[in-house]
Amino acid sequence: MNATGAAENYWLRPVVCTTAGLIGNVLLSAGKLVFGVLAGSAALVADGFHSLADVLSDVGILLALKAASRPPDQNHPYGHHSFETLGAVVVALFMLVTAGLIARSAVLQIVRGQSLHPEWPALAATLISVAVKEAMARYTLRAGRVNNSPALLANGAMHRSDAISSLAAAAGIGGAMAGWPILDSIGAAVIALFILKMGIDLMRENVMALMDTMPDAALLAEISREAGAVAGVQEVRSLHVRQRGSWYLADVRLAVHPENTIATAHDIGHEVEHRVRERVDKVARVFVHVEPGADTDDGRPGRS
């Protein structure tokens, strides 16, 4: 889908996906916290706070998507798509803070010997959470890949981290029920380390996007191939691409025959812009600079 067609559905899919996740996280966090307290499980309570952080991140993602969907204006001629990436950074921050709080609680319980004795409802609630969160993760990640959305991919990673951390919580609860209550606190500490790792990775990826790091080589090759296929283009001399939220902006420097008129060179550049936007997914804008190339038959006016 080209940029024009995709922009029409820019808001609908992400908001439906994130709202569904928000509702699920509200129910899960409430259930985990209640069962964790009643069943005496530090790991399940920690997992409940993780899901509560998911609720806050869902709200942040909705706000980011709303801001990103605004059209370009005089002060932001390239659009507001970077709000999506900022939303992903906020999710990463939530993950880091959550990891720190869970780790602090778990370490204090281990040091002070405050091991709890969870009961089977805590284990059942945790296993249900694993299934629900994994389903939410797959749904959100699939939507994120279709939309090329950093915000949805970040939220999907948050769901996935919750699913895997629930597995660690289940292991800790099972160990505590088997007679090793300290394993419940150790399970909470493992959850914290896992969330910390995912938060750091997510933060690095999206900060790099904000720093205009070039995308993968496959996308660059596709843009270069489509630009070079336009009649009159002798070569693609340079190509710079940066990501803005779900979209890419490309700067292309082309060589055309020096005998071309300004009008002809302009038409070639316009055709390159049109072809790349139509044929390369998620390219929103193409900035073309045309300069004289070699004085050869290749690209000479009147020849194909």
DSSP 242-268: EEETTEEEEEEEEEE-TTS-HHHHHHH
What range does the domain containing 162 cover?
A: 3-210
Q: Which tens digit of pLDDT belongs to each residue from 70-129?
A: 888 888 888 888 888 888 888 888 888 878 877 887 788 778 776 656 667 778 888 888
The first and second tokens of residue 21, run together, are 């996740």
Q: Rounded to whole angstroms, what are the CA distances from 120 to 36, 125, 174? A: 11, 9, 8
Q: Which tens digit of pLDDT belongs to each residue from 189-236?
A: 887 888 888 889 989 988 988 888 888 899 999 999 999 999 999 999
227, 169: one domain? no
Mean pLDDT score of the chain, rounded to an integer? 83
Residue where a domain stops, chosen among 188, 210, 232 = 210
CA trace torsion 29, 35, 40, 44 (10° rounding):
-40
CATH number at residue 261: 3.30.70.1350
**Higher-scoring residue by pLDDT: 161, 249:** 249
**Does 257 have pLDDT greater than 80?**
yes
Residue where a domain stops, chosen among 155, 182, 210 = 210
Provide the domain count of the chain.
2
Amino acid at 148: N
Helix (H) / strand (E) element for 174: namely helix 150-177
188, 253: one domain? no
61, 175: one domain? yes
Q: What is the pTM of this model?
A: 0.70
Q: Is residue 280 part of a domain?
A: yes
- The pLDDT, as a whole number, for residue 3 is 46
The first and second tokens of residue 164, run together, are 């895997």
204, 65: one domain? yes
